[in-house]
Amino acid sequence: MRHDESVPPTPRRPKPAAAAALTVLCLGIGLSGCGGESGAQAQPGKGGDPAPSSASASAPASPATPSPASTSPAPSKKPASPAPSTPAAASGPLSGKTVVIDPGHNPDNHLHTSEINRQVDIGTTHKECDTTGTSTNSGYAEARFTLDVSHRLRTLLQAQGAKVVLTYDDDRAFGPCVDERARIGNKAGADAVVSVHADGSAVGNRGFHVILPASVRGGGADTSKIVGPSRDLGTRIAGLFVRATGSAPSNYIGGNTGLDTRKDLGGLNLSTVPKVFIECGNMRDPKDAALLTSAGWRQKAAQGIADGISSYLNG
């Protein structure tokens, strides 16, 4: 917050605002065929193969989810915890690439307030180790949303041959802290890192935005080498997220561009590899919450992020 088995549902055309934003974003990154219908198949060499069914039998099974038509929140019971780091599942356009997925927050952070309130060095200042995240009015936690989308995203990327590492997979009591999240991506030598979130803003504030690292140098932070690549990664994700979901860029952050640059996030400041955050929507707005609690929409969200990552890695 501001702080997998299902095939994507039948495509629908983006809303007018989303379509206009998509045109701007696509022109900015020179993506051919980016203006197609929401959820359309990605072009070879751009979005890769979006169908999760193409994963080999060696890919770990993703947690069972409701049908795409469901709008019920995901169950709060913890799923079985796969290994946080898994090898590439198949040969494909992303073979040899490493992607780190960072599911924002942790469902049990609220049970460990003293630990997550501990201050950590983010290079330019100190901040809390982590936060609890937000939730919908019905109680669907951001941390549950981020894990679900991250699992779907992992399956899509593994189907294209990528090695995927999760910063955590519901396998620890709290955290990781923001500085550790950055170190996991750095240690993996990731070609791209995406931190998955959902916002907690006022009713009427709608849409998604991608957060890019600012130019920061101080203490242990130096983003000079990742600002440019991260902007490319984030811009591609924004454009293809519109196409996959039909959602419009945020109407309250980023001037309707879907992009926001910040220098106060340790997960970005301490990264030495290209990294962005994505706030997929506003959990506190009823209309956005209806999307975020839909399994079908979460599959579309994962597809849009995967397409953006694939487009970036394939150049």
Enumerate the active-site residues: 279
8 A C-beta contact, residue 146 and residue 104 = yes
DSSP code for 305: H
Q: Please name which of 178, 162, 166 lies closest in space to residue 102, comparing C-alpha atoms.
A: 166
57: tokens are 């039998």
For the chain, helix, strand, coil in percent to 5 are 30, 15, 50
DSSP code for 138: T
Q: Please name which of 68, 179, 168, 79 lies closest in space to residue 121, comparing C-alpha atoms.
A: 179
8 A C-beta contact, residue 280 and residue 136 = no
The DSSP line for 231-247 is: HHHHHHHHHHHHHHH-P
94: tokens are 């992303």
Contacts of 51 (CB under 8 A, 6+ apart): 7, 159
Task: Quickly count: other Cβ atoms within 10 Å of residue 120's Cβ.
Answer: 16
180 burial via Cβ count (<10 Å: 0-12, 13-18, 19+): middle
- Taking the C-alpha atoms of residue 295 and residue 299, their distance in angstroms, rounded to an integer, is 6
8 A C-beta contact, residue 214 and residue 263 = yes
Q: Please name which of 242, 97, 254, 208 lies closest in space to residue 160, comparing C-alpha atoms.
A: 97
| Alpha carbon 58 to its chain's center | 24
